[in-house]
Structure 1
Amino acid sequence: MRLFGYARVSTSQQSLDVQLKTLKEAGVRKDRIFSDKATGSNLNRSGLELLRLKVEEGDVILIKKLDRLGRNTEDMITLIKEFDAMGVSIRFLDDGISTEGTMGKMVVTILSAVADAERQRILERTNEGRLEAKAKGVRFGRKPSVDRKAVRSLHAQGVGATEIANRLKIGRSTVYKVLTD
């Protein structure tokens, strides 16, 4: 049995240090730790792909937390089944659970579903807040950078779209969009 480790953070600005330290303290050799700085909603992650290629029957993958492997129930179950078919077990260190044995797989599946439901609730609350803010007049997105009055004024003076775009340093398609709004 060989120990492997997997660590993931969602963005390049986040640090993997805590996860890597935990994996090393659990006995995983540095050359057997794979990591990603990418969203968990995508299974096509370079570190995960390399891990899939390296593990063999009887190996165990250590992961600090359940949500570091995947972001939704379907993806988690897919990965767990894939590793299980290879004869590879997964242990989630902070959660104290493992895919070793039938009960372990069931617990991981249930916890994945709970985590997925919580993410859905967070999205719902975020969307509700966004709708409420819009109703109060809050505007989202970047501020318009095109002087629409200038575009219309130049056009009214008979200046062509290409010349308007050049003068205002904007794209011609933007000129057309302003004129058709």
Structure 2
Amino acid sequence: MRLFGYARVSTSQQSLDLQVKALKNEGVRANRIFTDKISGSHLDREGLQMLRLKVEEGDVILVKKLDRLGRDTADMIQLVKEFDEMGVAIRFLDDGISTEGSMGKMVVTILSAVAQAERQRILERTNEGRLEAKAKGIKFGRKPFVDKEKVRSLRGQGIGATDIARQLNIGRSTVYKILESNQSSRISPVVENAMNS
């Protein structure tokens, strides 16, 4: 069994010293301590990636606190499960939690159930919010394609911006933007004459 350590702070201004010292006091060698100075919401952390590559079955990772492994509960639990599947245990020093042994398996199972319940709650809240927004008339999905040539054609027929907007089911400001871009893309006759001479 080899001991590894992981320490993380959220910003580059914060210090890792206390966490690293605690890991060394538990017997982790300096070259087996991996660190990150980045938000826990990112799973593509350099130190964490290196730790994933170095650990093998039977190893134990020490982390000072649960929230140092990951800020988001679901992501943190996903990491715990990933290491558990590799046969690697994790001990959270300050929290007194370990994924070692039969009690550890129970901890992983409970954490997995918590993560699943959290994902389910997020889905339910998202769906409730979507239904409420639909009831208020908010539309979802991509914005409809605006046929710029159709706008210019209707304008060329003498139809006003308000009527064009109504016919094409777009905003008047969109009509004006299309017409203005058409105007600015044309070269004035004076400039064209100067270029030809």
RMSD across aligned positions (CA): 2.4
Give the SS at the match of 2:4.
Answer: strand
- Counting aligned pairs with the same residue, the percent is 70
CA distance in 2, matches of 1:75, 1:107: 15
CA distance in 2, matches of 1:31, 1:82: 23
CA distance in 2, matches of 1:31, 1:63: 15
CA distance in 1, matches of 2:28, 2:78: 24
Gaps in structure 2 of 5+ consecutive residues: 119-197
The offset of 1:103, in angstroms, is 2.4
Partner of 1:45: 45
CA distance in 1, matches of 2:99, 2:114: 12
Gaps in structure 1 of 5+ consecutive residues: 117-181
Partner of 2:3: 3
- Does the C-alpha gap of structure 1 residues 2 and 12 become closer, same or farther in structure 2, counting only changes over 3 Å? same
CA distance in 2, matches of 1:77, 1:50: 19
- Does the C-alpha gap of structure 1 residues 110 and 72 become closer, same or farther in structure 2, counting only changes over 3 Å? farther
CA distance in 2, matches of 1:112, 1:15: 30
CA distance in 2, matches of 1:85, 1:43: 17
Give the SS at the match of 1:22.
Answer: helix
The equivalences for 1:85-164 within 5 A come to: 85-100=85-100, 101-106=104-109, 108=111
The offset of 1:70, in angstroms, is 0.6
CA distance in 1, matches of 2:56, 2:35: 18
- Does the C-alpha gap of structure 1 residues 69 and 110 become closer, same or farther in structure 2, counting only changes over 3 Å? farther
- Does the C-alpha gap of structure 1 residues 111 and 63 become closer, same or farther in structure 2, counting only changes over 3 Å? farther
CA distance in 1, matches of 2:114, 2:23: 21
Larger C-alpha radius of gyration, 1 or 2?
2
- Does the C-alpha gap of structure 1 residues 107 and 66 become closer, same or farther in structure 2, counting only changes over 3 Å? farther
The offset of 1:79, in angstroms, is 0.5
Partner of 1:25: 25
The offset of 1:6, in angstroms, is 0.0
Give the SS at the match of 2:91.
Answer: strand
TM-score by length of structure 2 reads 0.55
8 A Cα contact 1:97 1:108, kept in partner = no
8 A Cα contact 1:66 1:112, kept in partner = no
Give the SS at the match of 2:57.
Answer: coil
8 A Cα contact 2:11 2:39, kept in partner = yes
8 A Cα contact 2:7 2:16, kept in partner = yes
What do residues 36-62 of structure 1 show as CA deviations (whole Å, max 9, x unaligned)? 000000100000000000000000000
User: Number of aligned pairs?
Assistant: 117
Runs of 4+ more than 3 Å apart: 106-113
8 A Cα contact 2:5 2:23, kept in partner = yes
